[in-house]
Protein backbone atom coordinates (compact mmCIF):
# COMPACT_ATOMS: atom_id res chain seq x y z
CA UNK A 1 0.00 0.00 0.00
CA UNK A 2 2.81 2.33 1.00
CA UNK A 3 4.63 1.51 -2.22
CA UNK A 4 1.57 2.11 -4.34
CA UNK A 5 1.10 5.52 -2.75
CA UNK A 6 4.75 6.36 -3.41
CA UNK A 7 4.47 5.31 -7.04
CA UNK A 8 1.33 7.37 -7.63
CA UNK A 9 2.93 10.35 -5.89
CA UNK A 10 6.06 10.05 -7.99
CA UNK A 11 4.16 9.93 -11.27
CA UNK A 12 1.94 12.87 -10.28
CA UNK A 13 4.87 15.07 -9.23
CA UNK A 14 6.84 14.16 -12.35
CA UNK A 15 3.87 15.07 -14.57
CA UNK A 16 3.48 18.37 -12.76
CA UNK A 17 7.17 19.16 -13.28
CA UNK A 18 6.90 18.39 -17.00
CA UNK A 19 3.92 20.72 -17.24
CA UNK A 20 5.86 23.43 -15.44
CA UNK A 21 8.66 23.10 -17.96
CA UNK A 22 6.18 23.24 -20.83
CA UNK A 23 4.42 26.42 -19.73
CA UNK A 24 4.76 28.78 -22.67
CA UNK A 25 5.84 31.74 -20.59
CA UNK A 26 8.93 33.34 -22.06
CA UNK A 27 10.08 31.59 -25.20
CA UNK A 28 13.37 33.42 -24.95
CA UNK A 29 16.23 31.31 -26.19
CA UNK A 30 18.77 33.53 -24.50
CA UNK A 31 17.72 32.36 -21.08
CA UNK A 32 20.05 29.97 -19.32
CA UNK A 33 19.13 26.33 -19.72
CA UNK A 34 17.10 25.46 -16.65
CA UNK A 35 17.59 22.32 -14.56
CA UNK A 36 16.36 18.94 -15.69
CA UNK A 37 13.65 18.76 -13.02
CA UNK A 38 12.45 15.23 -13.71
CA UNK A 39 15.95 13.74 -13.47
CA UNK A 40 16.63 15.66 -10.25
CA UNK A 41 13.35 14.44 -8.77
CA UNK A 42 14.07 10.82 -9.72
CA UNK A 43 17.57 10.82 -8.26
CA UNK A 44 16.44 12.62 -5.10
CA UNK A 45 13.66 10.09 -4.61
CA UNK A 46 16.00 7.15 -5.17
CA UNK A 47 18.53 8.76 -2.87
CA UNK A 48 15.97 9.15 -0.09
CA UNK A 49 14.18 5.86 -0.27
CA UNK A 50 15.80 3.46 -2.70
CA UNK A 51 13.28 0.70 -2.05
CA UNK A 52 10.01 2.40 -2.99
CA UNK A 53 10.56 3.19 -6.63
CA UNK A 54 10.40 0.29 -9.12
CA UNK A 55 12.89 0.73 -11.93
CA UNK A 56 10.25 0.11 -14.60
CA UNK A 57 8.31 3.12 -13.32
CA UNK A 58 11.43 5.30 -13.53
CA UNK A 59 11.95 4.14 -17.11
CA UNK A 60 8.33 4.93 -18.07
CA UNK A 61 8.35 8.39 -16.49
CA UNK A 62 11.70 9.35 -18.03
CA UNK A 63 10.59 8.08 -21.44
CA UNK A 64 7.42 10.16 -21.16
CA UNK A 65 9.55 13.19 -20.28
CA UNK A 66 11.74 12.56 -23.34
CA UNK A 67 8.68 12.36 -25.57
CA UNK A 68 6.82 15.36 -24.15
CA UNK A 69 9.79 17.70 -23.83
CA UNK A 70 11.12 17.15 -27.37
CA UNK A 71 14.28 15.29 -26.45
CA UNK A 72 15.64 12.36 -28.45
CA UNK A 73 13.27 9.68 -27.12
CA UNK A 74 14.79 6.85 -25.09
CA UNK A 75 18.31 8.18 -24.73
CA UNK A 76 17.71 10.35 -21.68
CA UNK A 77 15.57 7.59 -20.18
CA UNK A 78 18.26 4.93 -20.65
CA UNK A 79 20.94 7.12 -19.08
CA UNK A 80 18.58 8.16 -16.25
CA UNK A 81 17.74 4.53 -15.43
CA UNK A 82 21.44 3.65 -15.29
CA UNK A 83 22.14 6.65 -13.05
CA UNK A 84 19.26 5.77 -10.73
CA UNK A 85 20.47 2.16 -10.47
CA UNK A 86 24.03 3.23 -9.69
CA UNK A 87 22.82 5.65 -7.03
CA UNK A 88 20.51 3.03 -5.54
CA UNK A 89 23.31 0.49 -5.23
CA UNK A 90 25.56 3.13 -3.69
CA UNK A 91 22.92 4.09 -1.12
CA UNK A 92 22.17 0.48 -0.22
CA UNK A 93 25.82 -0.45 0.14
CA UNK A 94 26.78 2.26 2.61
CA UNK A 95 24.80 1.84 5.75
CA UNK A 96 25.57 5.17 7.35
CA UNK A 97 24.02 8.16 5.70
CA UNK A 98 26.03 11.25 5.11
CA UNK A 99 24.25 13.81 2.97
CA UNK A 100 27.25 15.58 1.35
CA UNK A 101 28.51 12.22 0.12
CA UNK A 102 25.11 11.36 -1.29
CA UNK A 103 24.82 14.77 -2.96
CA UNK A 104 28.28 14.64 -4.52
CA UNK A 105 27.56 11.14 -5.83
CA UNK A 106 24.27 12.36 -7.31
CA UNK A 107 25.96 15.42 -8.85
CA UNK A 108 28.61 13.20 -10.39
CA UNK A 109 25.91 11.01 -11.90
CA UNK A 110 24.02 14.06 -13.23
CA UNK A 111 27.16 15.30 -14.97
CA UNK A 112 27.81 11.82 -16.34
CA UNK A 113 24.25 11.69 -17.74
CA UNK A 114 24.68 15.09 -19.43
CA UNK A 115 28.05 14.17 -20.93
CA UNK A 116 26.84 10.73 -22.00
CA UNK A 117 23.88 12.34 -23.71
CA UNK A 118 26.17 14.71 -25.57
CA UNK A 119 28.68 12.02 -26.55
CA UNK A 120 26.06 9.54 -27.80
CA UNK A 121 24.34 12.26 -29.83
CA UNK A 122 27.74 13.03 -31.36
CA UNK A 123 28.48 9.38 -32.09
CA UNK A 124 25.16 8.92 -33.89
CA UNK A 125 25.60 12.19 -35.83
CA UNK A 126 22.43 13.68 -34.32
CA UNK A 127 22.09 17.44 -33.82
CA UNK A 128 24.05 18.23 -30.65
CA UNK A 129 23.47 21.07 -28.21
CA UNK A 130 26.43 23.22 -27.18
CA UNK A 131 28.61 21.53 -24.55
CA UNK A 132 28.64 24.66 -22.38
CA UNK A 133 24.85 24.60 -22.15
CA UNK A 134 24.94 20.93 -21.14
CA UNK A 135 27.42 21.67 -18.36
CA UNK A 136 25.33 24.62 -17.14
CA UNK A 137 22.22 22.49 -17.19
CA UNK A 138 23.94 19.73 -15.21
CA UNK A 139 25.09 22.33 -12.66
CA UNK A 140 21.55 23.60 -12.18
CA UNK A 141 20.22 20.07 -11.95
CA UNK A 142 22.79 19.19 -9.31
CA UNK A 143 21.83 22.36 -7.42
CA UNK A 144 18.17 21.34 -7.59
CA UNK A 145 18.93 17.96 -5.98
CA UNK A 146 18.99 19.13 -2.32
CA UNK A 147 15.88 21.21 -2.93
CA UNK A 148 14.01 18.10 -4.00
CA UNK A 149 15.47 16.15 -1.08
CA UNK A 150 14.21 18.83 1.31
CA UNK A 151 10.77 18.94 -0.28
CA UNK A 152 10.50 15.15 -0.24
CA UNK A 153 11.45 14.89 3.43
CA UNK A 154 8.87 17.59 4.21
CA UNK A 155 6.32 15.34 2.51
CA UNK A 156 7.29 12.54 4.83
CA UNK A 157 9.65 10.66 2.57
CA UNK A 158 12.54 10.41 4.99
CA UNK A 159 15.64 8.33 4.62
CA UNK A 160 14.81 4.79 5.62
CA UNK A 161 17.10 2.76 7.77
CA UNK A 162 18.86 0.60 5.22
CA UNK A 163 17.89 -3.04 5.34
Partner 1 sequence: MAQDQGADTLYVRTLRRILVGLLVLVLLTIFLFWRIDGPRAEHARMAVIDSVVPRLAWMMAPVRAVSDMARDFQSYAQLYEQNQQLRRELQQMKAWKEAASQLEQKNAQLMDLNNLRLDPKLTHIGGVVLADSGSPFRQSVLVNIGSRDGVRDGWAAMDGIGLVGRISGVARNSARVVLLTDSNSSVPVLIEPSGQKALLKGDDTVAPSIAFLETVDLVQPGDRVVTSGAGGVLPPGLLVGHLAQTPDGRLRVRLAADYSRLRYLRVLRKPDLEQINDPGGMVTPDALLSGVQSFDLLQVPDG
Q: Would you count residue 122 as binding partner 1 (CB under 8 A)?
A: no
From the list 13-21, 43-51, 96-104, 144-152, the region that binds partner 1 by CB under 8 A is 13-21
Please select the residue that binds partner 1; options are 1, 2, 4, 28, rule is CB under 8 A. Answer: 28
CA distance 4 to 144: 26
Q: Would you count residue 19 as binding partner 1 (CB under 8 A)?
A: yes
Question: In this structure, what DSSP letter does residue 54 have?
Answer: -
Question: In this structure, what DSSP letter does residue 70 have?
Answer: T
Q: How does DSSP assign 104-148, residue by residue?
A: HHHHHHHHHHHHHHHHHHHHTT-----HHHHHHHHHHHHHHHHHH
Which of positions 37-76 make contact with partner 1 (CB under 8 A)? 55-56, 59, 63-64, 67-75
Please select the residue that binds partner 1; options are 11, 78, 108, 147, rule is CB under 8 A. Answer: 78
Q: Would you count residue 93 as binding partner 1 (CB under 8 A)?
A: no
CA distance 57 to 21: 21
**8 Å CB contact between 66 and 75:** yes
Q: Would you count residue 96 as binding partner 1 (CB under 8 A)?
A: no
Q: Which residues bind partner 1 (CB under 8 A)?
A: 15-16, 18-34, 55-56, 59, 63-64, 67-75, 77-78, 81-82, 85, 120, 124, 126-127, 129-130, 133, 137
Amino acid sequence: MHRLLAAVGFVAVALLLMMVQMVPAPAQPENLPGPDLVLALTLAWVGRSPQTLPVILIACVLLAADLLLQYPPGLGAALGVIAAEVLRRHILRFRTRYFPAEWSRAALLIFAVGLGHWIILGLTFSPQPVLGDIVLRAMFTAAAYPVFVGALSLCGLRAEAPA
